[in-house]
Amino acid sequence: MHELGRLEDLPQDYRDQLTRLNLVPLWPNLRSVLPPQVPSRNTRPTHWPYTTLKPLLMQAGELTPMHKAERRVLVLANPGHGLENMKASPAMYLGMQLLLPGEWAPAHRHTPNAVRMIVEGHGATTTVNGEKCPMERGDLILTPTGQWHEHEHSGSGPVVWLDVLDLPLMYYAEVSYAVEGERQTVQPGRGDEVYAHGGVVPTSYFERGRAEYPMLRYPWREARAALEALAQTQPSLTCVQVTYVNPDTGHHIQNNLGYYAMMLRPAQQLRLPARSPSQVFHVIEGRVDVAVTKHAFGLAEADTCCTPGYEAVTLTNRSTTEPAFLFVADESPLHRKLGVYEVRS
Ligand code: 1HN
């Protein structure tokens, strides 16, 4: 690829004229917006250990009352994107949220899509469009775009969860906003109870369900059992993974981000090929080493890390006797829509 003309090669007077007229020459910038073979990425492999994060989150519980926070969150910000931009990757926001006994995080709805992966604690619930979802460790709970949601905690001890949102993408597209609301009236019925039976889904007499988000809570008990059954019935399967899907359509549960649960067999080393999407790994059970580019992270339980796209990632279960379980989030639905999804090697 031959070298192109630089900005400095142009007479100052010409450059000034362009600037005054809101014009920019393309050729000095062409290589930076279209680099050869591989895109430039700001996403830096980053590890957020839970042991260092948790005390600071608990301190936030003392320093900042709920009415001063609305959502008491420490954002897992990727330094490669600038901490103030609150991005783990180009499309993913990550935050660790704390709710203390007796607290209520008021109802609102917003354009970004969110999921929460429950990290620890008992007795909290999230009410999404009137459906009250219990929050237990490992559960995945959706708050899709535009749906009312609020959190409350009537149990004892702190409850902590990991929020994943497509906020950076929505913000970039200038479509991110929220609306505040009243406490929701809880409606009877739970999607996870009527959809949690293998292979059968609720139907009216003539047609399948039409709800866009028929299931809001994906209990860890079910996802874990699916992974264990998969591992047991397919001993030669290397990637023991399930995808969180809409049970009526089989599609990803949300528009832009994909969510998965993965099991590593005892001592298993799994090489994930380089693909275009950035990824997030969060340990639900066990200890997992994550290697990407020149980085090696030893993830303990409840630790989270992110990896840039176009890089292979190697996962290793540190235990030789027990399986390890991971929650994975990525940008693959977005990449497929953009027509740029790639697997390289
Ligand atoms: C939000 O609504 C929640 O509802 C958590 O718990 C984190 C981060 C950015 C924007 C909205 C929640 C959020 C958020």
Per-residue pLDDT tens digits for 285-294: 999 999 999 9
38 domain residue, yes or no: no
CB of 167 within 6 A of ligand 1: the answer is yes
How far is the CA of 246 from the CAs of 114, 229, 259, in angstroms? 15, 20, 11
8 band by pLDDT with thresholds 50, 70 and 90: very high
Is residue 75 helix, strand or coil? strand
16 domain residue, yes or no: no
Give the distance (Å) from ligand 1 centre to CA of residue 301: 23
Per-residue pLDDT tens digits for 186-204: 999 999 999 888 788 888 8
242-243-246 Cα angle (round to 5): 130
Mutate-to-test residue for ligand 1 from 66, 103, 165, highest number of ligand atoms within 8 A of CB: 165
92 domain residue, yes or no: yes
207 band by pLDDT with thresholds 50, 70 and 90: confident
Average pLDDT over residues 306-324: 98
Give the distance (Å) from ligand 1 centre to CA of residue 45: 24
pTM: 0.97
Tally: H helices and E strands in the chain: 7, 21
164 domain residue, yes or no: yes
Domain at 258, CATH number: 2.60.120.10
Ligand 1 atom with the shortest distance to the CA of 151: 6
d(CA 282, CA 258): 14
CB of 95 within 6 A of ligand 1: the answer is yes
Give the distance (Å) from ligand 1 centre to CA of residue 71: 6
Per-residue pLDDT tens digits for 138-164: 999 999 999 999 999 999 999 999 999
Domain that holds residue 119: 46-338
Question: Domain tally for the chain?
Answer: 1
Give the distance (Å) from ligand 1 centre to CA of residue 115: 9
12 domain residue, yes or no: no
Give residue 219's Cα distance to chain centre: 17
d(CA 322, CA 273): 25
Pick the residue whose CA is nearest to atom 3 on ligand 1: 71
178 domain residue, yes or no: yes
CB of 73 within 6 A of ligand 1: the answer is yes
11 domain residue, yes or no: no
Among candidates 300, 268, 269, which has minimal Cα distance to 286?
Answer: 300
At residue 116, does pLDDT exceed 80?
A: yes
17 domain residue, yes or no: no
Average pLDDT over residues 80-85: 98
